[in-house]
Structure 1
Amino acid sequence: MLLIVGPGAVGTVIAGYLGAAGRPLRLQCTRHDLPAVAAAEGIAVERVTGGPALAGPRPLLTTSADPDEVRQVLICVKHPDLDAALDGLPADMRADTPLVSTLNGVGALRRIRERFPGHPVLPATILFNAQLLEPLHARVSARPQIGIPREHGATVALFRGSGLRVRAARGEAAAWGKLLFNLSAGIAALTHSTFREVLTVPGLRAVYADLLDEGAEVLRTAGIDFSVPVGVPLTVFLRLLRHNGGAAWRLAAWRLGLGGSAYPSMVSDLAHGRRTEIDLLSGEIAGLARRKGLEATRNQRIAELVTAAERGESRIPMTADMLVAAMDRRQATVRPG
């Protein structure tokens, strides 16, 4: 039996597709979330990119799964909820039970391995954007696909024929590459922009190119392999981003199935006063740079700006010109915490 942990946007989309494909699964919720999720009549996934909505019965719900039944775990929560999600997993699961993380970045992989040493811990790269409209009702704003290393055959087989396309991914190199691509999230959150706007509006794409360039250099210097999910080497994508934003957008949209209205979830998180994952994106790059005796001033600055907005210490949304000016200020006023 598959255990999907987290009834948020990603968990709802995956549960909807796998449930419709007849996969035996349970959806694990916290006791706090359970009443609202249990009140949903069924599960629904709307697709902005076209096609009828996917609809089905409500999946079986649990707050504490039977360790004897669990054969694979998909962890589909946000970073602030990861520790609580791990606390809710059966401590006596079979040691060969794979724990598959769908979280952004690589910090979650480290945390899961610390909590469950000896278990296979696998990265699954989510290559779509989704928003949770209400419990068990999500909207996908990009072609639903997921990146899984080929060598993890059982996980690949889980998605085969489900409607969720599986793309071969290079393990943690794919997770680092997705982290680089997601450096766009801080820009989008501060300016309330879509992916398309970040890649095409001159000031925004200039900031994004700087973040990408700096982040890639930190990873290379640290000896960390990465594979960006845009289908071309990062050097090519950066060249397009700096000189032809329209081409950069068309490439990303084609490769990732992005619709013109798609935006990072951090936009909604910041707009609604929720804690963002900036520390796991630009903050991860800045932290790695510090540990290696390097500098990542651009990523450090965007992390500071998002953190200030989280605390209500700056006004959002910014215009592109305002963001460019804020990025160019020498002195940062807020440190990410």
Structure 2
Amino acid sequence: MGSSMKYLIFGAGAVGCYVGGKLAAAGADVVFYGREKIAKTIAQHGLSLSHHHDEAVHVPHPKFSTTLDGLHDPDMILLCVKSQDTQAAAEEISTHFPPSVSVLSLQNGVDNVPLLREALPGRTILGGMVPYSVTGVGEGVFHQGMDGALVFEQDPVAAELVEACQGAGLDACTSPNITGVLWGKLLINLNNALNVLADMPLKDQFRQREYRRLFAALIREGLSVLKAAGVEATGSGKTTPKRVARLFDIPDFVFYPLSNRILKMDPKARSSMWQDLQTGRASEIDHLQGAVCRLGKKVGVATPLNDKVTHLVNQAFADGVSPALSGRDLREQLSKMD
């Protein structure tokens, strides 16, 4: 039995199509709002949702719109646009939907919820965290490449969404400290930039110790900033940034035997930022590394490694191609930027 709530997936890209598709397959009332290209693909092929170890789900005729005009008011908007598009999305929501419609952000970064609350006063705005990558692999197929539970800000409305997600086969829970969860996810997402520079599946990247050490160093730099700012990055479940930094810093002979148990992901999974580079979309680096660097300046903590990685990723996006560096080559290039 599907949820009685009506959902609008605002920004139906990979994550939006996957989460919304699972809800729709379980009987929930879901409308997808997104780009014309995705709309045409789904109209032709339907929506298929695959998982690296679960059975695939197919939604033959999802309700997809490329305009907000004429849509019935949903109970909740699941906002899935890129962080750089949040302001424009807030303006569209304000124009088309009354304050009774709540908004739950399923976006990377920590600035979206404050921005939405300022732009949409008097409306229930909640934070949310998606712990896994989703890849659009063509012909309406969206693939979840790793495990994890969705986390929503604690609220009665979110509790109903958790129930709907669980009924749809999506692990989900609420948290009273969504800020800590989002910062924890942001620190883990600092690897998105490294994956752009590596141009290889995440599992292959993590088998290179130099890449693991760089990832751990990025996290520790971020943790130093957060400590100075009085912010605790809690992460989700057992996946805390401190634990990840310790784990990824260990030698190969210790890491390799553990990797199959630790890295529960599809062998071909890559970061969302790498996908953005391939499709010519703008990078979210300013909302990931950029958030750490801005807060570092505010609290007086230097962030040289995140600064350098930001520069290299911006160059890759300007060139439209990854430099495809090994971990050792990247370490050497970063050392020359001092």
| TM band (smaller chain) | 0.7 to 0.9
* 2:103 equivalent to 1:103: no
Q: Residue 218 of structure 1: which of 225, 236, 256 is its match?
A: 225
* 2:107 equivalent to 1:125: no
TM-score (norm 1): 0.87
Matching residue of 1:183: 190
- Offset, 1:207: 0.7
1:1-337, aligned counterparts within 5 Å? 1-30=6-35, 32-33=36-37, 36-37=40-41, 39-47=43-51, 49-62=52-65, 63-64=67-68, 69-91=73-95, 93-134=97-138, 136-143=140-147, 145-151=149-155, 152-169=158-175, 170-229=177-236, 231=238, 233-243=240-250, 244-246=254-256, 249-250=259-260, 252-253=262-263, 257-312=264-319, 316-331=323-338
* Matched positions, count: 326
Structure 2 residue identity aligned to 1:107: D
For residues 251-279 of structure 1, give each alpha carbon's deviation from its aligned partner in whole angstroms, at most 9, with x where no partner exists. Answer: 643xxx42233221212222444321111
Residue identity over aligned pairs, in percent, reads: 23
Name the stretch that deviates more: 194-203 or 208-217: 194-203
**For 2:266 and 2:328, how far apart are their aligned partners in 1?**
25
Q: Is the 8 A contact 1:201 1:245 kept in 2?
A: no
TM-score (norm 2): 0.87
For residues 194-224 of structure 1, give each alpha carbon's deviation from its aligned partner in whole angstroms, at most 9, with x where no partner exists. Answer: 3323433111011111101000110111111
* Unmatched tracts of structure 1, length 5 or more: 332-337
**For 1:135 and 1:38, how far apart are their aligned partners in 2?**
7
**For 1:118 and 1:158, how far apart are their aligned partners in 2?**
25
Of Structure 1 and Structure 2, the greater helix share is in 2
**For 1:94 and 1:29, how far apart are their aligned partners in 2?**
20
For residues 179-204 of structure 1, give each alpha carbon's deviation from its aligned partner in whole angstroms, at most 9, with x where no partner exists. Answer: 00111111111011333234331110
SS in 2 for 1:105: coil
Going from structure 1 to structure 2, the CA distance change for 1:232 and 1:77 (only over 3 Å counts) comes to closer
RMSD of the alignment, in Å? 2.5
SS in 1 for 2:194: helix
SS in 2 for 1:45: strand
**For 1:160 and 1:236, how far apart are their aligned partners in 2?**
27
**For 2:204 and 2:320, how far apart are their aligned partners in 1?**
25
